[in-house]
Amino acid sequence: MKILRFEDLEVWQQGRDVTRSIYKLTTNGRFSKDYALKDQMRRASVSIMANVAEGFSRRGDKEFGQFLFVAKSSAAELQSHAYVALDQGYMTETDFKGLYESLDHVSRMLSNFIKHLLDGQRGRRITR
């Protein structure tokens, strides 16, 4: 299967879902008034999507992998920020667990994708 657009990548779609969740979570109550944390969490979630998309547009797999590493780092950053939001009572334990698990899933997907690109395994050729 040839992937012609970054929007076709499942990892980008999952990143989009996380971003949608973050924007929804940070719009409500006291969370919406913590401008610094709200902004940082939104930017980290957008960074996941953006780095997958930007990396996809690069010519080589090694360069693409570098952008995926940045996306993975943004997912970890967002997990850390989620603890702050939980500790401040901005989100419920249920919301925290759901978000954390989603980010863990995205992180694993990114790790697998990076491994695929950097190991030179070409099971599915990505056309860019």
Domains recognised in the chain with CATH numbers: 6-119 (1.20.1440.60)
Segment 99-109, tens digit of pLDDT: 999 999 999 99
How far is Cα of residue 50 from the mean position of the Cα atoms in its chain? 9
End-to-end CA distance of the chain: 13
Among 18, 20, 23, 28, which residue's Cα sits nearest to residue 76?
18
Contact 15, 55 (CB under 8 A): no
**Quick one: average pLDDT of 74-100?**
98
Distance from C-alpha of 2 to C-alpha of 118, rounded to nearest angstrom: 18
Tell whether the model's pLDDT for residue 1 goes beyond 70.
Answer: no
